Amino acid sequence: MNTAMNTAMNDAAEAFRKLLEAQFLRLEHMNTERTDFSRKETVTIGIIDGDGIGPIITAQASRVLEKLLADEIAAGSIVIKQIYGLTIENRMACGQPIPADVLAQIKTCDVLLKGPTTTPHGGTLESANVAMRRELDLYANCRPVCIPEKNIDWMFFRENTEGEYVLGSHGVELPGMAVDFKVTTDLGTRRIARAAFDYAKNNGKTHVAVVTKANIMKKTDGKFTAIAHEVAAEYPGITVDDYYIDIMTANLLKEPLREQFQVILLPNLYGDIITDEAAQIQGGVGTAGSANIGDQYAMFEAIHGSAPRMIQRGMGDYANPESIIKASAMLLRHICRVNAAERLEKAMEACAVTVTSDGAGATAEQYADALMALL
């Protein structure tokens, strides 16, 4: 082995050592006290526009929230705060996934409603979402998919701060080779598993599917599966089955088998992929909301991206706001405004206005107008 290769390997080993140190440090800061929104006198909701179609759809969701919470906003028990600067232009200029001044503003809020943000292909700028989940320790990504006419009622619990994503921007390149990393911790897995089983217990669900690739990723996914079963033992009456991610993607399309699934627990990458598939079954990624929940903070967003092609075609006004408005309903439930959430969900079910990205349907604003008329 030549000198250059030895040097590259030593550099890679040193980079990996630093990554491991950072992960042990992350573990030390995982335990925090959970916010009780039923007792909180003032709740601050931060609104982040994002990139591309983000400002268009987020504006409509913000209008809906302001209407639903008008009395509390007037009384001061709800504060809606606009946060600026989480744009691709500002992030690129600062060289930070979340500029420090923006992060400081974010941390003054209790919950966030966030539009989609753009992540550049290649380069070293980390995803704003990945950085947000890490900085706020938003470990549980919760994505519901419900299609009553097809007997589908799924809730996905995706681990949100580990797996490939936490280290995906910190891999190493050697001559003729590139290596990325994946991490699974006991505490990180245990808390997402407990969140999934708590949800099942509290919502009358009797089945949890644990989805991994433990036959190949034996250390990381093997640990995830083992700990999920340890947690499951604390919840009598809830059955657990293991599935590999490849067959699970097929099972979600298989009738009537898919009707048996209720709560689905997955590591980070698999959860990202399969929830997009599930949303497509529901009617498209524009129809699904997403919650990113930690013990102190929570962020709610659409599951789709910033759709730069729609902006380039001049069709941004026709972006579907349903996904982020559904995320708004999840936000309302999280802060214990259940009545407002139910009003919104019923209005969305009753709303006959259709938004299509080709411009044949209503605009995002027209959809919100029709929805607000039903509230």
Q: What is the pLDDT of residues 270-286, one digit of tens each?
A: 999 999 999 899 887 76
Name the 3-class secondary structure at 39: coil
Per the CB < 8 A criterion, the answer to whether 303 and 275 are in contact is yes
**DSSP code for 98:** S
> Which residues in 123-262 belong to E strands, given as ranges?
140-147, 152-159, 172-174, 177-179, 207-212, 239-244
The pair of three-digit structure tokens given for residue 171, joined into one six-digit string: 């891999």
The bridge status of strand 140-147 relative to strand 152-159 is antiparallel
Whether the predicted pLDDT of 356 surpasses 90: no
Is residue 364 domain-resident?
A: yes
Is residue 75 domain-resident?
A: yes
What pLDDT is recorded for position 99? Answer: 97
Number of domains, the chain = 1
CB 62: neighbour CB atoms within 10 A?
20
CA geometry: angle 103, 104, 107, nearest 5 deg: 85
Helical H runs in 259-337? 268-282, 308-312, 322-334
Over residues 76-95, the mean pLDDT reads 96
Is residue 53 domain-resident?
A: yes
Supply the range of the domain harboring residue 125. 32-138+294-375
Cα(260)–Cα(212) distance, integer angstroms: 18
Per the CB < 8 A criterion, the answer to whether 288 and 282 are in contact is yes
Whether the predicted pLDDT of 126 surpasses 90: no
| Between 98 and 172, the higher pLDDT residue | 98
Is residue 315 domain-resident?
A: yes
The distance from CA 57 to its chain's CA centroid, rounded to whole angstroms, is 17
Picking from 327, 167, 206, 188, the residue whose alpha carbon sits closest to that of residue 267 is 188
β-bridge partners, 83: 48
Is residue 126 domain-resident?
A: yes
Total number of residues shown for the chain = 375
* CATH number of 356's domain: 3.40.718.10
Cα(336)–Cα(191) distance, integer angstroms: 22
Place of tokens 């994503």: 165
Give CA separation, 61 vs 58, 179, 365, in Å. 5, 40, 10
CA-based radius of gyration for the chain? 21
What pLDDT is recorded for position 359? Answer: 86
Whether the predicted pLDDT of 32 surpasses 80: no
Is residue 43 domain-resident?
A: yes
What pLDDT is recorded for position 89? Answer: 95
Tens of pLDDT, residue by residue over 305-325, are 899 999 999 999 999 999 999
The bridge status of strand 289-293 relative to strand 43-48 is unpaired
199-233 burial string, b = 16+ CB within 10 Å, else e? bbbeeebeebbbbbbbeebeebbbbbbebbeebbe
Is residue 313 domain-resident?
A: yes
What pLDDT is recorded for position 5? Answer: 86
Cα(197)–Cα(232) distance, integer angstroms: 7
Run of H or E residues at 185: none
Q: How many CA atoms lie within 13 A of 160 on its CB side?
A: 29
Confidence category of residue 197, pLDDT binned at 50, 70, 90: very high
Over residues 352-370, the mean pLDDT reads 92
CB 326: neighbour CB atoms within 10 A?
25
Is residue 90 domain-resident?
A: yes
- In one letter, which amino acid is 281? I
**DSSP code for 297:** -
